[in-house]
Amino acid sequence: MNGNRISVLELRSVRGTGGGPEKTILLGTALRQKDRFDVTVCYLRDQRDDVFGIDQRAGRLDIDYVEVREKHSLDRGIWKPLRQLTADRRIDIVHAHDYKTILLALMLKRSDRIIPLATAHGWTGQTTRERLLYYPGAKWLLRRFPCTIAVSAEIKDDLGWRPPLADRVVVILNAIDPQAFVRVPSKVAGIRQALGYGPDEFVIGAVGRLEIQKRFDLLIGVFADLVRTRPNLRLAIVGDGSLNRALTSQAAALGVSDRCRLLGHRDDIADLHHAFDLFVQSSEYEGTSNAVLEAMALETPMVATDVGGTRELAWPDVHALIVPNRDVAALGRAIRSVVSDRKTAHARAAAARRRIETELSFEVRTRRLEAVYENLMRQRA
């Protein structure tokens, strides 16, 4: 600690372009109280990763960003530069964001008397090793942390802890910058035209990694059923992942390739929402979905599955239509409801925007996070 300033290291390991946690880490750091907190964002970067893009996103923000390069996932060579970084920055708190950095934060506590903190963003691994080894191991390690932040009540419950251990878990929902995500009605026609959508077409949008967790296969199946009676429907899925080819093949097999488009990874999500008449989250698991927050901020009517912290963000029938997980019939009914009653759907979307501007803004979330940092420092004193 330098005077009355608190020095924090946000520590994260991820490959490729990352996901929702990157938005939370980078934008939250940019909104810190600079007169009170010195925050360094450090990413462990595999030198074999040729699509890593976090550095470019960080470069557009007013933050202290560094990388520790590793030759492979178990490279012990990262330990020395990581310890040097914490010494040079006089770090008080190491804030970990995944199973690998949770272990590193605990190791730094033991070697350098660093205060470890972790955010549990969710347990959504695709591999057997993650599900059976890494995630159970991370949960076991978290029992040794003075505090863990869960991004939803469901994730807190998933830890399975009872008091007094459960009292160390603080729920802080993900948030969004309401100034960066604003619907501009005058942009709608131009963006739809650029994407090839006509004024009479009803565009259903979805955003997320093309992985089984998002269940875009179920969404495509529902869409194929709906389009038989509503030929003006269109589906646009934004994101990339291992299921790209399988989802493309599914759309072709169902005869909807001309109406269902996979747009790949995009950095212009806010613009794309101007083309959407409806946003659908079909996931079978979420932490606290950043895609849901974006839809709320951009006033896109929404249908979402009741998973993770979704109903904590968008209240059922107030901000969105929330349907049971994996219930294909309910998902189809909810989409039909929005298509048939757009006035009510837009009223829910307007209410969602008001919630973003007050309780779910990044400004509010960052202040809550900073309160956790201050409490940890008081406990150490």
Asked whether residue 180 is assigned to any structural domain, the reply reads no
Q: In this structure, what CATH number is given to the domain that contains residue 202? A: 3.40.50.2000
**Residue whose pair of structure tokens reads 């994730």 in the numeric block:** 155
Question: At residue 19, does pLDDT exceed 90?
Answer: no
pLDDT given at position 139: 94
Same domain, 171 and 190: no
Same domain, 365 and 259: no
Asked whether residue 292 is assigned to any structural domain, the reply reads yes
Boundaries of domain holding 351: 185-358
Secondary structure element (H or E) that encloses residue 233, with its range? strand 233-238
**Residue whose pair of structure tokens reads 């205060």 in the numeric block:** 115
pLDDT in tens, 106-155: 999 998 889 999 999 987 666 788 888 888 999 999 999 999 999 999 99
The count of structural domains within the chain is 2
Same domain, 212 and 313: yes
Asked whether residue 159 is assigned to any structural domain, the reply reads yes
pTM: 0.85
Same domain, 296 and 254: yes
Residue 89 is which amino acid? R
**Residue whose pair of structure tokens reads 């490279």 in the numeric block:** 75
pLDDT given at position 137: 93
SS3 label, residue 185: helix
pLDDT in tens, 283-342: 998 888 999 999 999 999 999 999 989 999 999 999 999 999 999 999 999 999 999 999
> DSSP character for 42?
E
Q: Which residues contact 320 (CB under 8 A, 6 or more apart)?
A: 292, 296, 301, 302, 303, 304, 314, 348, 352
